[in-house]
Amino acid sequence: MKKSILIICFMILATPICSAEEPQTETLSGYPLSIEECVRLTLQNNFDITIGKLERKVLSYNVLDAKKIYDTTWTASVGFTEDNKESTLSSADQRDTKVSWATALKKKLSTGSTITLSIDDARTKETGYERNYTDTTGISINQPLLNNGFGYTDRRNVKIVRLDASRLDLATLDGIEENIAQVYYAYWDLVFAYTSLKAKETAFDFAENFLTVTREQVTNGALEDTDLYSAESNFLKKQDAVIVAKQYIEDLSDELKYAMNLVHPALLRPIDTLTTTKDPFTEEASIRTALEHHRGLRQAKLAAEAAALKLEMNKNKRLPELDLTATITGNGLDSSWKHAFGEAKAFEDPTYFTGLAFSFPLENREARAAAHQSEYIEAQKIWTIKKIESMIYTTVRRLLRSIDTTYEQATIKEKTYNYEYMKTQEEEKKYSYGRSSSDIVIRFQDDALNAKIAWAASQAYLHKEHIALKRAQNVLLDELEWTTYENISEK
């Protein structure tokens, strides 16, 4: 009888809690999802990414807004005047009327020139006199020569706005990429959680079978009560571990759904598996890629370029304002509006004017202070670039070392698990012959379980470290070939 019980016990214990193959026990069913599908859904539905897309469209119009100084302005006015006054020459009252209208087009060019085309018309009627029309047409040009000479400041101001828009756009893209990275992290955490659950479920199955056999052996007098207490405790611990692991999967599944803005009643079940692989890369190539693509560095360079332009503008503002103005006016006077307007339009009886306007604050404190401040701001931006470059070198090297270390650890943990598994098998055989105790077998099984989970954890961390490196290099979106945003052309 005792021999048959030991044989049954050996058959149960010979079933490993986890093996090189994935366990087949699955108590949780879910909606299967690949990492590629997760990223695709995130790009389509994620709240922050949707907000980022709209923000990019808003930013694309900043340059158009800055160019408003070059907009053509049309003005028009109309008026009527009636003057009833007493005459000194006659006892009769005098009644004068005047109807006037004017219109003008004003346009600023990129050369800084302001061109104005104007038409003024007035119809007057005085008591005792014929009705007369007075018309003028004019062309006026104003050209700054020193301060903002030939549009120097205007053009640079538009370029600064363009640089700022590009810098903010890079920040928006970086936020989008960060959301994608978080989805990668959450996905591999969920893969690890399922792997851990499967190992714990297998350990629970063993604990349940082990408890059944132990109860039978205690009843038959083959084992002591202490063996039963140990098996009971082990069963409850494994049951608790499975409950906690399932809840953890539910929490991670909800987090991943939220990241993707996915409404689905079922749990998410990743179809990708953990592997111990390392991408082929060198330190030199990795750092070069980071320097070329890092958005923080690109933003800093854009900010430095804008600061240099601002310095040029503030130096220019220290110059006096000297504007050249030239005007030609055509005049027409006739009792017929047609004739009067025709004379004005043909610039008959023209009036010419050319002049210079000069203005300069003697102390000029504001311009001088702005220029000096701009010098220091430009220096700050240059040092910021150097700081970010140093940070990139440090971060990339640290991540490369971490990937190498994690890869080696995963390899070691795989071998450790294999030895723990073989050790457990041998101890189970000894137990079947009565040369071991339940405490030792349970401890060895726990060692194998923990080794399996540690191996899986190192694999998951290795996957996440690869994502962290790409995130530090800012190449995630480039690798995804993300083209869901169309640039809005300037008008």
Whether the pLDDT of residue 469 is over 60: the answer is yes
DSSP result, 302-333 = HHHHHHHHHHHHHHHTTSPEEEEEEEEEEEEE
27 pLDDT tier (thresholds 50, 70, 90): low
The rounded Cα 447 to chain-centroid distance in angstroms is 44
Element housing 139 (H / E): strand 132-144
Cβ neighbourhood burial of 151 (10 Å; 0-12, 13-18, 19+): buried
Distance CA 232, CA 218 (A): 12
Three-class SS state of 358: strand
Closest CA to 12 of 441, 447, 475, 485: 441
pLDDT of amino acid 430: 84
Q: pLDDT (tens digit, 9 = 90+) per residue, 179-212?
A: 899 999 999 999 999 999 999 999 999 899 888 8
Point out the least confidently predicted range of 19-23, 58-62, 423-427: 19-23
pLDDT, the chain, mean? 85
Q: pLDDT (tens digit, 9 = 90+) per residue, 42-69?
A: 888 888 888 888 887 887 788 888 889 8
Locate the domains of the chain by residue range: 2-65+156-307+374-480
Q: pLDDT (tens digit, 9 = 90+) per residue, 269-283?
A: 999 999 999 888 889
Closest CA to 367 of 320, 318, 322: 318
Reading the block at residue 429, the tokens are 């055989």
Q: pLDDT (tens digit, 9 = 90+) per residue, 286-338?
A: 999 999 999 999 999 999 999 999 999 999 989 999 999 999 998 888 878 78
Whether the pLDDT of residue 353 is over 70: the answer is yes
* CB contact burial 358-386 (16+ within 10 A = b; e otherwise): eeeeeeeeebeebbeebeebbeebbebbe
Element housing 77 (H / E): strand 73-86
88 pLDDT tier (thresholds 50, 70, 90): low
pLDDT of amino acid 188: 96
Whether the pLDDT of residue 488 is over 50: the answer is no
Reading the block at residue 194, the tokens are 């399922």
Distance CA 468, CA 447 (A): 31
Whether the pLDDT of residue 35 is over 90: the answer is yes
Distance CA 287, CA 385 (A): 15
pTM higher than 0.85, yes or no? no
Whether the pLDDT of residue 284 is over 90: the answer is yes
Q: pLDDT (tens digit, 9 = 90+) per residue, 385-395?
A: 999 999 999 99
Cβ neighbourhood burial of 223 (10 Å; 0-12, 13-18, 19+): buried
Reading the block at residue 56, the tokens are 């990019």
Task: Please give the CATH number for the structural domain made up of 2-65+156-307+374-480.
Answer: 1.20.1600.10
> What is the arithmetic mean of pLDDT over 83-94?
61
Whether the pLDDT of residue 6 is over 90: the answer is no
> What is the arithmetic mean of pLDDT over 377-386?
93
Which stretches of 181-289 are assigned E, i.e. beta strand? 268-270
Q: Are the C-beta atoms of 216 and 43 separated by less than 8 Å?
A: no
Q: What residues contact residue 11 under an 8 Å CB cut-off, 6+ apart?
A: none
